[in-house]
Structure 1
């Protein structure tokens, strides 16, 4: 049996511009749903609002560090470049 190609994702979970966001890396976005209370808005669980795909773990880790090292304004701009309405992108993921 052939092993699946590795996949790594840099993700951002949040609810809306101006709120706290959670930035991280995962090998499976469907199973990686954060339950961090700092990213909840009025009791709502955060939505997957941004992600990038990488085949190499080191590339994903470097990108995660880059995003985390930037300003919140740059993070919001990054999200809105892909997802201007802050929709939940979980339904767009392939199985």
Structure 2
């Protein structure tokens, strides 16, 4: 998991009960750490959504934002299929 440079990431974090949150960032490691430490109040902090279960990397911020919007409009079932195509056990990818 790279997080430095000019990369942009669309990511999904999940709670132990598999509540999911889709986000975008230019520093994936920092952002996941913020979720883990509940540094930003809101949905992810309230629902204990902090395990990185899926991500994609992009060179262009506009493309990353467009992909984030696409995923946010997907039904939950489609997001689950996407996660499980990369990470069938829903492991925390930030600890690997």
Provide TM-score, normalisation by structure 1: 0.78
Are 1:22 and 1:39, in contact at CA under 8 Å, matched by a contact in 2? no
Q: Deviations over 1:8-38 (max 9, x none)?
A: 000000035x632111001111100223234
SS at match of 2:30: coil
Question: Would you say how many aligned residue pairs link Structure 1 and Structure 2?
Answer: 84
Q: In 1, distance between residues paired with 2:29 and 2:78?
A: 26
> Pairwise CA RMSD of aligned residues?
1.9
Pick one of 65, 68, 71 that aligns with 1:67.
71
Runs of 4+ in 1 over 6 A off after TM superposition: none
TM-score by length of 2: 0.77
Partner of 1:37: 45
Tell me which residue corresponds to 1:78. 82
Is structure 2 residue 51 aligned with structure 1 residue 52?
no
Instruction: State the match for 2:11 in structure 1.
Output: 11
Structure number with greater Rg is: 1
Matching residue of 1:22: 21
Unaligned regions of 5+ residues in structure 1, if any? none
